Copies of this chain bind each other. A is one copy, B any other.
Amino acid sequence: MPGRPRPGEFELIGELFAPLAADEPGALGLLDDAALIAPRAGFDLATAVDTLVEGVHFLSSDPPFDVARKLLRVNLSDLAAMGARPRVYLLGLAVPDGIGFDWLRGFARGLASDQARFGISLAGGDTTAISGPACLSLTAIGEVEPGRSPLRANAAAGEHVYVSGTVGDAALGLRALRGEDLGLSESGREAAIARYRVPEPRLELGMALLASAAIDVSDGLIADIGHICAASGLGANVEAARVPLSGAARSALGRGAVEIVDLLTGGDDYELVFTAPADRSDAVRAAAARARVPVARIGTMTEGEGVSVFDTANARIAIDRAGYRHF
C-alpha cells in the first residue's frame, strides 16, 4: 500500500535476505506471497512470535549483529521451553529512515551466523518503513513430538523447581550499559553486557529434558515461576541462596551494588525454569549433562498460589514487583 515511495525493498531482499533463505526450499527464494513448509510426519509445529522494539528491548547503540541474534534467540528460547527443534523463521521488520543499508547488512550477518549455529533458515518476511523506533518481529517455527512439550499448566505440587545457567546477569548488563557503576571487573562487565545483548537459548537442554512444566526466563525468574504457578493452579517456594549466580553477580551483590531481589526479578536471562517430580532428579541431572548446561534445584511446587522466596534463615523475602512487564 502507499507507504513512502522509496526504492530498496527488493534490493534489500535480494542482497541481504535471499541468501538467508537459500537452504530452505519452502522459502521459494522469498519471491512469493507465502512460504510453503512441508511438515515432517509425526511432528507438531511449535510457533512463537516475539517483537523487539528499539529503545525498549534493545538500545540504538547495540551492534546490529547482536540485535539480530537477540531477535532470533528470544524466539528460539520460546521453542526451547517447548522442547522443540528449530526449523524456519519469518521476519516482520519496520525500520526508520535512520537505519540504513549498513545497519541492515550487519543485522543480516548476525542472522546468518546464528542460522548456522542453530540449524534454522529464513523462510519469509516483510519489510516496511516506520516513523519511529525500529520494530522487529520474528516468528519461529520448530518441530516437536506431540505430547512432548512441558506446558506451563502441567506442574504438580511437590515437584522440584529447577533453573539452568545463572540468573540476573542480563539485568546487570543493562544497568552497566546505562552507565551505572556496579563495581564489576572489566571482564565481568563485558560478560554481563553480552548476556543482555545476546542470550543463549537452551535448545539442547529443552530437547533433552522430560520436564512437567517449563518456561524461559524473560520477565524475571520470580515472575516466570509465577506464570507456571498461575497456569498450574499452584504456588512455589524458592530458596534464594540456591539460585545460581555468576561471579559478577555475586561480586555486585557482595559490594551492595545490587540486591538479591534485583537479580531474582531482572528479566532477559532466557534460562529455562522447569519442574519435575522428585523421583526424576537423576534424569534431570543426566539431561543437563548431555546438554552441557548447569542446572540447579531452587525450590518446590506447593499447594496454594504465588511464589514465596526465602533467605538462608528461612525468612520470607519481600518481592515488591514480581518482574517487569511489557505493555
Instruction: Answer yes or no: A137 CB below 8 A from chain B CBs.
Output: yes
Task: Indicate whether A12 reaches chain B with its CB closer than 8 angstroms.
Answer: yes
Chain B residues contacting A28 (CB-CB under 8 Å) are 151, 153
Task: State whether B128 touches A51 (Cβ < 8 A).
Answer: yes
Contacts of A7 in B (CB 8 A): 325
CB–CB B32/A82 < 8 A? yes
Q: Which residues of B contact A126 (CB under 8 A)?
A: 49-51, 137
Contact A51–B92 (Cβ < 8 Å): yes
A116 within 8 A of B: no
Q: Identify which of A36-44, A181-189, A304-312 touches chain B.
A: A36-44
* A268 contacts chain B at the CB level, 8 A cutoff: yes
Stretch at the interface among A140-148, A156-164, A248-256, A295-303: A140-148
Q: Within the complex, what minimum Cβ distance (angstroms) separates A226 from chain B?
A: 10
Known: A92-B49, A92-B50. A149 touches B55 (CB 8 A): no
Given known A-B contacts A45-B45, A135-B135, A130 and B53 have beta carbons under 8 A apart = yes
A3-B325 in contact (CB<8A): yes
Measured CB to CB, the residues of A under 8 A from B are 1-10, 12, 26, 28-29, 31-39, 41, 44-51, 53, 55-57, 77-79, 81-82, 84, 90-95, 123-133, 135, 137, 139-142, 144, 146, 149, 151-153, 170-171, 174, 214-216, 218, 227, 231, 266-268, 321, 324-327
18 CB contacts below 8 A, A to B, read A1-B218, A3-B327, A6-B326, A31-B231, A32-B149, A32-B151, A33-B78, A33-B82, A33-B215, A34-B46, A35-B48, A37-B47, A47-B123, A48-B90, A53-B130, A56-B129, A56-B130, A90-B139
